[in-house]
Structure 1
Amino acid sequence: MKSVVKENSVVLDIGGFDGYISDKIKSVKGVEITIIDLDRAGLKLAGEKGLKTMHASVLELPYESNHADLVLCFDLLEHVEGDRGAVREISRVLKKGGTLVLTTPMEKGVTFPFLDKDRTEKINRGWGHLRLGYSLEELRKMLLDSGLEIRRKSRYFNLLSRFIYRFTFISKAFRLRWSVYEAILKLEPYIKFGSQVHIIEAKKI
């Protein structure tokens, strides 16, 4: 993540909740990060980490055009009814040449070992997903329509991670299992088999 964060840049972490990701990049010299979310509980947690916060919707960002060098938008689009409007608004606040880093599930959503289609969809909907996810071509078109061009793409949340994630929440020893899950996540850059979440880096053109 730090490779896309430049010194003295303005970063908007939209849907960043408690600032988990931004907390890891705030040490970059001169960087100005703002967590934007509608969840006040999450913003409170982010504030306790020393992060600047803003209570606002991705559909109506309280910033002038060409404001940010980098926008982070992790696992948000699938929750937003007006997803295309959200992408247009992100593009508006990005400077020309600015970067969007986006994650969102692939078109079939996030599946889990040993669960059928109906149960899987119920879990995804339970997370507040208004749609299961997107194909790469759907994302490419939606981004291009708003002046954003995909420069790099990858995937994460592989089969092993999903298995451990599910095991974590059905186990009584939650904290221990969560520690195991976090350790498994460190392997994500190296194991792509069965990955079901897009990681997109796009530039405003």
Structure 2
Amino acid sequence: MESFAYKDIQNQEKNHWWFKARREIIREKLNKLNIKKDSTILEIGCGTGGNIPMLKKYGKVYAIEMDDYAIEISSKHNIQIKKASFPIENPFENKFDLICMFDVLEHIENDIVALEQIKKMLTKDGILIITVPAYTWLYSTHDKFLHHKRRYTLSKIESLVKNKFEIYEKTYFNTLLFPAIVIARFIDKIYPKENSLGYKTPNKIVNFILFQIFRFEKYLLRLISFKFGSSIFASFKNKSS
């Protein structure tokens, strides 16, 4: 993704309802894992660093990112960042207790190789957390604009991690807004355009309403797992060979 796009993403990560609510849901899931305070944490594809302040509350954070501009912005959070395109050999000397890929796996050409490499980078009981977009039939101009290679289902995720990881938790999310998202993605299919529906931050009132609806899911997810939604959350424990 070009640097000019990352400049836009920096603003999106800070203000857009989707990024803000997703962070709250991820934080809720991180709290549930009871991560030890001295954990080493790696974020693969940290972008402009929107998740780094959250992750720093759980341990020492490292990151991998491919874009120079994004690295420059993320470095302001005072963490170690290596420039690389994943999958690669571990560019750090240490292994990690927690590795996070927040809507990154869908950007990687060979996701199987990526997961195999991540397994090598985790400690014996290390945890991997991913979020990915759901359902191939929702693939549209929106995904092409964001350079997505694919979308996933929970069954597909399960098949990818089989014999590599033990599943802690799996659920769809962004469920309450799912009907509206389906409509938006089908409009993208019928009337494709470079700036797809849902990418730009809407006006403050709409942004606030969408944020409140989406973030409410963190309370529901304490009680249930969603059977459908536009995104998938999954956490895994490193499985001994």
Task: Answer yes or no: same fold by TM over 0.5.
Answer: yes
Task: Give the conservation status (yes or no) of the 8 Å contact 1:91–1:204.
Answer: yes
Question: Partner residue of 1:138?
Answer: 156
Work out the CA distance in 2 between the residues paired with 1:49 and 1:75. Answer: 21
Counting only pairs closer than 5 Å after superposition, residues 1-205 of structure 1 correspond to structure 2 as: 1=27, 2-3=30-31, 4=33, 5-28=35-58, 31-60=59-88, 61-63=90-92, 67-108=95-136, 111=138, 121-131=140-150, 133-145=151-163, 147-160=164-177, 163=180, 166=197, 169=200, 171=202, 173=203, 175=204, 177-189=206-218, 190=220, 192=226, 195-205=229-239
Report the TM-score when normalising by structure 2.
0.68
Structure 1 residues 138 and 48, CA gap change in structure 2 (3 angstroms) = same
Structure 1 residues 194 and 140, CA gap change in structure 2 (3 angstroms) = closer
Deviations 1:78-126 (A, max 9, x none): 11111111111111100111100011122336x4xxxxxxxx5122222
Task: Give the conservation status (yes or no) of the 8 Å contact 1:35–1:43.
Answer: no
Task: Give the conservation status (yes or no) of the 8 Å contact 1:106–1:197.
Answer: yes
Q: Which amino acid aligns with 1:63?
A: F
Task: Give the conservation status (yes or no) of the 8 Å contact 1:58–1:89.
Answer: no
Task: Give the conservation status (yes or no) of the 8 Å contact 1:140–1:149.
Answer: no
Q: Which runs of 5+ in 1 are unaligned?
A: 112-119
Q: Which amino acid aligns with 1:59?
A: P
Q: Which amino acid aligns with 2:46?
A: G
Moved more, 94-103 or 37-46: 37-46
Work out the CA distance in 2 between the residues paired with 1:197 and 1:67. Answer: 28
Structure 1 residues 196 and 159, CA gap change in structure 2 (3 angstroms) = same
Q: Which runs of 5+ in 2 are unaligned?
A: 1-26, 185-196
Q: Which amino acid aligns with 2:83?
A: H
Structure 1 residues 8 and 176, CA gap change in structure 2 (3 angstroms) = same
Matched residue SS, 1:169: coil
**TM-superposed deviation, 1:162:** 7.7
Work out the CA distance in 2 between the residues paired with 1:179 and 1:55. Answer: 35
Task: Give the conservation status (yes or no) of the 8 Å contact 1:74–1:104.
Answer: yes
Work out the CA distance in 1 between the residues paired with 2:207 and 2:78. Answer: 25
Matched residue SS, 1:142: helix
Report the TM-score when normalising by structure 1.
0.79
Deviations 1:42-95 (A, max 9, x none): 22222223333221222103135x700000011111111111111111111001
Work out the CA distance in 2 between the residues paired with 1:160 and 1:107. Answer: 15
Matched residue SS, 2:97: strand
Matched residue SS, 2:158: helix
Computed over aligned residues only, the root mean square deviation of the Cα atoms, in angstroms, reads: 2.7
Task: Give the conservation status (yes or no) of the 8 Å contact 2:52–2:77.
Answer: no
Higher share of residues assigned helix: 2
Structure 1 residues 167 and 39, CA gap change in structure 2 (3 angstroms) = closer
Task: Give the conservation status (yes or no) of the 8 Å contact 1:23–1:51.
Answer: no
